[in-house]
Homo-oligomer: A and B are copies of this chain.
Amino acid sequence: MAEFDLIAQYFTRPALAGASAADLGVGDDAALISVTAGHQLAISADMSVSGTHFFADADPYAIGWKAMAVNVSDMAAMGANPKWATLAIALPEIDAGWLSAFSQGLFACADSYAVSLIGGDTTRGPLNIAINIFGEVPLGKAIRRDRAQAGDDIWVSGTLGKAALWLQQRLGKLDLHAEDVAELAPAMHLPQPRVALGLALREIAHAALDISDGLLADLSHILQASAKGASLDWALLPKPQLRHSQLADSVIQQAVLTGGDDYELCFTAAPEQREQLLALAHTLALPLSRIGSVTQAPGLTVRHGETAIELSQKGYVHFD
């Protein structure tokens, strides 16, 4: 099968109603897009590698969904409206069943967020999925990492640590009840980027990012970029509730604070915004938890009652 046939069969579709078409899409040397006047283009790239980001035998639908979702999540974290994406993919072989399921998962996620696939590259090699995503944000309205202010509340969306617990189970380090495993799995395989939240936060948040490497590691990026510190309260953190399994506190702490793969948003906002944020949580049917506050003094501590939690590692390390 030639590259063009492969693209035609698996990665070309009629434009979805409501999605942003490119001026010129797949098939030329480059795609062409027009950025809306008064807007900046937000650009992010995320690579998903077999054996690093997913197990080689993982469900190809989920691989496709998640490869797109982690990119969409970067748009959410900037307060950008995701519109277009490119896909560069290296494949060890042409496996029709795998490709069909992969592309269905990829497009299901793209469709959920009205993202159009406008170009890319296919080649032979160890399985590697490199997606670039493009979104629009009104000039000057992007939510950056370097604008957190002392006294800001720190908030997170959703529940943290579910994907990490699923991974620990998959690696044989936990012995969870099958029903709990099934309940945790979607957090790992089908993350739901918080785009609507990100768009609403443009006018509310001072700083934001998405949690991919673990809350403490990612929050540290905000603190470092903003030259601030933070104090979190363990009691306020949104933790997974397992109905059939017992877990040690240390296991839950590691998962919630350092687990990664959450794709929830972490953001800071002035205390005056609390009421508006709780109303927003209601509107979006998405829990928002106020977990601590930004301090002028550097350092990041997590209080557990009267004591501070000690952690050996702050988050996922890409190269060690």
- Which B residue sits closest to A212, measured CB to CB? B29
Query: Is A300 interfacial (CB-CB < 8 Å)?
Result: no
Interface size class of chain A, counting residues whose CB lies under 8 Å from the partner chain: 35 or more
CA distance A118 to B139 in the complex (A): 18
Q: Residues of B contacting A145 with CB < 8 Å?
A: 27-29
Instruction: Specify which chain B residues have a CB less than 8 angstroms from the CB of A34 in the assembled complex.
Output: 40-41, 139
Residue from the list B2, B32, B137, B139 in contact with A319, Cβ < 8 A: B2
**Inter-chain contacts of A94 with B (CB < 8 A):** 319
Contact string against B for A residues 118-150, beta-carbon threshold 8 Å, 1 for contact and 0 otherwise: 111111111010101111010100101110000
A43 contacts partner chain B, Cβ-Cβ < 8 Å: yes
Q: Enumerate chain B residues within 8 angstroms of A142, measured Cβ to Cβ.
A: 24, 30, 32
Q: What's the least CB distance linking A184 to chain B, in Å? A: 24
Known: A24-B144, A27-B225, A132-B132. A47 touches B123 (CB 8 A): yes
Q: How far is the CA of A84 from the CA of B124 in the complex (A)?
A: 26
Q: Given A50-B125, A128-B130, A319-B2: A44 and B30 within 8 A (CB)?
A: yes
User: Are the C-beta atoms of A29 and B319 separated by less than 8 Å?
Assistant: no
Q: Give the nearest-CB partner of A142 in chain B.
A: B32
Option from B78, B122, B318 in Cβ contact (under 8 Å) with A3: B318
| A→B interface (CB under 8 Å) | 1-3, 6, 23-24, 27-35, 37, 40-47, 49-53, 74-75, 77-78, 80, 84, 86-91, 94, 118-126, 128, 130, 132-135, 137, 139, 142, 144-146, 208-210, 225, 317-320
